[in-house]
Structures are given as structure tokens and as C-alpha cells.
Structure 1
């Protein structure tokens, strides 16, 4: 009997399109975004991404 591993990582959604200065990847509004905590904080403070609350994530 195996237990399903709980996903504890936070999910961030792009709310304003941008080109990532580190990866050069272009993100459109609505895309998921993952990075280290420092980068997430930087982008969130500039209004590019927002954290998706647990109750807003689609059920699997």
C-alpha cells in the first residue's frame, strides 16, 4: 500500500506577461511559474505573479 506524496510547493500564476531575465523564457498571463524564493518575491513585488491559494487550485 503506497501513500500519495503530498505536494507542499506553492503554485504561482503569471498575471502580467514577462520575459524571465534568468532563463529568457517568455511567460504569458495564466501560465504557472516556479523559481527560487528570492525570484518569486521579486516578481510578486513587481506585479508579475501571484500565489494561487489552495482552495483556488483545481482538484486532481
Structure 2
């Protein structure tokens, strides 16, 4: 049961990261710093890695 909850939390983290990356790109297009999309992409990458790790752990 704990594995399923961990997977759910990781999946929600990926969704939130996608929304934050989308907002960062919009802000960049409006003239904000180019570091926002870079940081958003790093957050998305780390949340996807966490989700993959949790999925692999649940399959083992």
C-alpha cells in the first residue's frame, strides 16, 4: 500500500512540475529571466526520475 501511495505522490509531482515548467516558459516569453525555464526543466527531470524509481521499486 505504501508503494502505491509513493507512486501517486510521484505522479502528482510530475504533473505539478509540468505546470510549473509551462508557467516558466510563459514568463520567459514575457521577458523574464531565462533561468526560469531551465530550473523548471530540472524540476521536471528530477520528478520524472523519482517516478521511474518508484515504479521500478514497486515492480521488484
TM over 0.5: no
Structure holding more helix per residue: 2
Larger strand fraction of residues: 1
Question: If you compute each CA radius of gyration, which structure gives the higher value, 1 or 2?
Answer: 2
TM-score normalized with structure 1 length: 0.25
